[in-house]
Structure 1
Amino acid sequence: MSNQKPVGILTATKINDAGAPAHVLASKLNGDLLLYQLGNMDTVSSQITLDTGVLSSCWHPTSNTKAYTGNLDGTIWDVDLEKSIVNPMNSSHLLGVRKLMFLDENQILSGSWDKSLALTDIRSPLNHKYRVGLPGKVLAMDSSFNSYETVVSMTDRIIHVYDKRDFSKPVNVRESGLRYQVRDLKILPNRKGYATCSIEGKASIEYFSEQDLHLNYAFKCHRTPQQEVDLVSPVNCIQFDERERLFTGGSDCRICEWNYHEKKRLKQFSKEPWPVLTMSIREKYLVYGLSDDGYKNMVSERNEYSVEESSVGLKILD
């Protein structure tokens, strides 16, 4: 019997950065880029399919028609969503581009499974600016658009903190407060630290300053009580809103809302049909991506697994 590969898995859902919230870009592991109107999330308004899987995507910070993708084959693509035109950029990565984000209006930072960061200037014909070797594969990263902090999480629990004006050397190297693989990372709204989440059903709050390290803490989440033990689900994504509320999405098919200052869960949203793999928040809008990630539990590649269709949802926050 032939296997069906998990090609339809969502890898990112992003609300546009420029102007009022109006559009949502969703990317998939099979190369699909789906564009939605924020007011009509049930219908795909346009679709582009690349000839490589998409691991990460982002909007240009000043355009509602330009987007960029970081791909499974190590390439970065410039995408004109209005004209359905895609152009490859000069990328130095040899393996998948796990994370992609703008540092300012002209520079993209990419983090790869080939153990490197790369800085790309979209104005340059050659694009590639420089590349930095890392001690581990990039799993998650975030950068403060209006400040200088950039945090990169890697395999082997390695965390690098950079000043985005100079990536030649990290300003701080530390070990993750979580024991198992990190799935997502976001800088705190006050820019004093960052939050991470992992496959072990935990999230953490960690601070930059040595004087604040005693405030670091981790907490259990996305766990389902059973008769004798809890069923632990991976926490796949993490986001903050403008009111500094923390949101987590997990493979238990739930989104949770937290007050991270008081270490308290405020709300658990209704259970979704499939695991929550991605989230994006802007103003009162929370967009999330649902995908069937059950293929990860297959004991053998010979097992046949039929992947359910992914979907994108919207919640209006209070």
Structure 2
Amino acid sequence: MSNPQTELTSPPSDAISSIQFAPASLRLLVASWDKSVYLYDTTEAGGRLLRTYEHRAPVLDVCFGEGDEEAFTGGLDWAVRRLDLDSGAQTTLSVHEKGVKCVVYSSAHKLLVSASWDSTLHIHHPQSPSQTPATVTLPSKPFSLSLTATKLVVAMASRALHIYDLAQLASDSAARAQIASSGEYPVLSVEPWQRRESSLKFMTRAVACMPNDAGYASGSIEGRVSVEWFDPSDTSQARKYAFKCHRQPSPEGVDVVYPVNALAFHPVHGTFASGGGDGFVALWDGVAKRRIRQYQKYAASVAALSFSGDGKYLAVAISPGFEDGKEGETEGAVSVFVRELGANEAKGKGLK
């Protein structure tokens, strides 16, 4: 791409819920409330729409699986699906009792986790279709999932966060699947590795894990981000902090507060991006506790973010929000931008 930023020419027709770059290429998946998932090749200006995968209801999340040809989806039809991106074939892996808010795939453990508004996780082994998915019961409704090579972070209502050991989830769910009755989802009695209460005072909207497996960032509806570390020692916990962001001054001189809708960590530098209802994307150095840069204002709320696997590109999904009282004004507001990052654009201040 010759320009620093390009807009995809064939965006979804309704609000975007999720975007994700492929692990090893510049293929980009986009999930939408228009009941479809879109696959783009973003190697050329404007992108190229490769395929559309229709669903029965709005799609709330999408992620790549084992390689660039496999994906998983969840949405308001309550089903968790596997997509063969080349053939277009769809396979239902499990069905929750309410909408599926999030799906994440662990390549380290060959494990797919879905989170539903029925307050459960489903643990799937996609490489072993004969194994029945297992259920983990949550204390409240999940809002966001993120994982590292070893841990799964579940952000929920009532400011609750559970951190699970992925190796334990993988082994326990595989063992339970072997003894499950046909058609039943076995319930795991697995305990979280850690239980935490969010240090943010209002509802968590997004959570994202650090690529170095050290901790996570979470964002709230009240324009704040918290940065925390997994290490339970007093020294490590003393490092956690929160800061205000995505606030814009009003003509009266009072800050208007916008929700933090999206967070994404850079896979190489460990810095992170935040996207807000104010239409801005900012890059942050979580270690140095400072903002690296803020990009120009987009025409609508930032709905989702994703860095490419090599960290050279940042995809930004824009969708109309209700922050400005413009419900129903969707014309031209749904779009996806892919920004090419300079060599040091996302590098933290303390990195050489």
Aligned-residue offset at 1:196: 0.4
The aligned residue for residue 233 of structure 1 is 258
Aligned-residue offset at 1:189: 3.0
Structure 2 counterparts to residues 196-215 of structure 1, below 5 A: 196-208=218-230, 209-211=232-234, 212-215=236-239
- Counterpart CA distance in 1 for 2:94 and 2:129 is 9
2:49 to 32, 44, 51: 44
> CA RMSD, aligned part only?
2.0
Structure 2 counterparts to residues 80-159 of structure 1, below 5 A: 80-91=84-95, 93-104=96-107, 106-126=110-130, 128-144=132-148, 146=149, 148-159=150-161
Aligned-residue offset at 1:43: 4.0
Q: Determine if the alignment matches structure 1 residue 223 to structure 2 residue 247.
A: yes
Is contact 1:11–1:27 with CA below 8 Å preserved after alignment? yes
The alignment partner of 2:237 has SS state of helix
Aligned-residue offset at 1:266: 1.3
The aligned residue for residue 179 of structure 1 is 201
- Counterpart CA distance in 2 for 1:155 and 1:149 is 20
The aligned residue for residue 279 of structure 1 is 305
The alignment partner of 1:89 has SS state of strand
Is contact 1:291–1:308 with CA below 8 Å preserved after alignment? no
The alignment partner of 1:305 has SS state of coil
The aligned residue for residue 316 of structure 2 is 288
- Counterpart CA distance in 2 for 1:127 and 1:307 is 42
1:165 to 167, 176, 180: 167
Aligned-residue offset at 1:90: 2.7
The aligned residue for residue 265 of structure 1 is 291
- Counterpart CA distance in 1 for 2:259 and 2:226 is 13
Per-residue deviation, residues 247-289 of structure 1 (Å, max 9, x unmatched) = 1011111100111111111111011111111011022110111
- Counterpart CA distance in 1 for 2:245 and 2:74 is 30
Residues 296 and 11 (structure 1), Cα distance of their counterparts in 2 relative to 1, 3 Å cut: farther
Runs (5+) with no aligned partner, structure 1:
1-5, 299-303
> Which letter does structure 2 place at the counterpart of 1:48?
Y
Residues 181 and 128 (structure 1), Cα distance of their counterparts in 2 relative to 1, 3 Å cut: farther
Is contact 1:79–1:87 with CA below 8 Å preserved after alignment? yes
Aligned-residue offset at 1:32: 1.2
The alignment partner of 1:165 has SS state of helix
The aligned residue for residue 194 of structure 1 is 216
The alignment partner of 1:273 has SS state of coil
Aligned-residue offset at 1:296: 9.1
Aligned-residue offset at 1:132: 0.8
Extract structure 1 runs of 4+ deviating beyond 6 A: none
Residues 189 and 22 (structure 1), Cα distance of their counterparts in 2 relative to 1, 3 Å cut: closer
Runs (5+) with no aligned partner, structure 2:
1-11, 170-189, 343-352
> Which letter does structure 2 place at the counterpart of 1:75?
A
Is contact 2:94–2:133 with CA below 8 Å preserved after alignment? no
| TM, length-normalised to structure 2 | 0.81
